[in-house]
Amino acid sequence: MVTGNLRYAEPMSKPRPPKRISKSSLENAALFYLERFSASAETLRRVLLRRVDRAAKLHGDDPAEGAALVADLVNRYQAAGLLDDQRYADGKSRTLLRRGCSQRAIRQDLARRGVATEVIDRAIDGLAQDFAEADQTFDQAAAEAYARRRRLGPFRSPDQRSEYRDRDLAALGRAGFSWDTARQVIDGDEE
């Protein structure tokens, strides 16, 4: 029987040390990562470089050799179409829009993931064109999704709406939406 606090117990096994970096080990790691996650070229490069750095420190290898292998691998995957930053940015921006992120938040998230500014602009323009036919702007749709997810404004129970109006406006402001957009969403059916 186990006694004591398990939270601070020793792990069952120690983590395996990283293997020496080779072309095949990096390729296997990259393919395994891409099977699990959608990634931009820069994200994959960062993941593989972390692996190279850990292995180089343990085995005393030159990290520049591993970095050259990583650069070659990423370029090869981009040429083969396995890594496509535009496709990644389009999908990620749609996901963030459904989650209720503002245009500014989507730009920041994609930039943080290493996507080029031109690619981000094309992804945002593609989303904006989807709303061009509708009677809604990009930020209005995102603000409504955010309000629905957080149960703000019109998605709150009617007896609490006036009491929490200022808080709801502030929540939309902190999420990156303009005052006009926030007011349109929160006061939407009262006007």
Please give the pLDDT value at position 189. Answer: 54
Residue 4: predicted pLDDT: 59
Per-residue tens of pLDDT for the chain, all 191 residues = 556 566 666 666 777 888 888 999 999 999 999 999 999 999 999 999 999 999 999 888 889 999 999 999 999 999 999 999 999 999 999 999 989 998 889 999 999 999 999 999 999 998 888 777 666 788 888 999 999 999 999 999 999 999 999 999 999 999 989 999 999 999 875 43
Position 191 scores a pLDDT of 39
Closest to 177 (Cα-Cα) out of 93, 100, 123: 100
Say what the pLDDT of residue 190 is: 47
CA distance 97 to 89: 12
Dist CA 61 CA 53 (whole Å):
9
pLDDT of residue 13: 74
The set of long-range contacts for 81-86, using a CB threshold of 8 Å and a minimum separation of 24, is: 82/34, 83/34, 83/39, 83/40, 83/41, 83/44, 85/40, 85/41, 85/115, 85/116, 85/119, 86/119, 86/122, 86/123
User: What's the chain's Rg over C-alpha atoms?
Assistant: 23
Cα(119)–Cα(126) distance, rounded to whole angstroms? 11
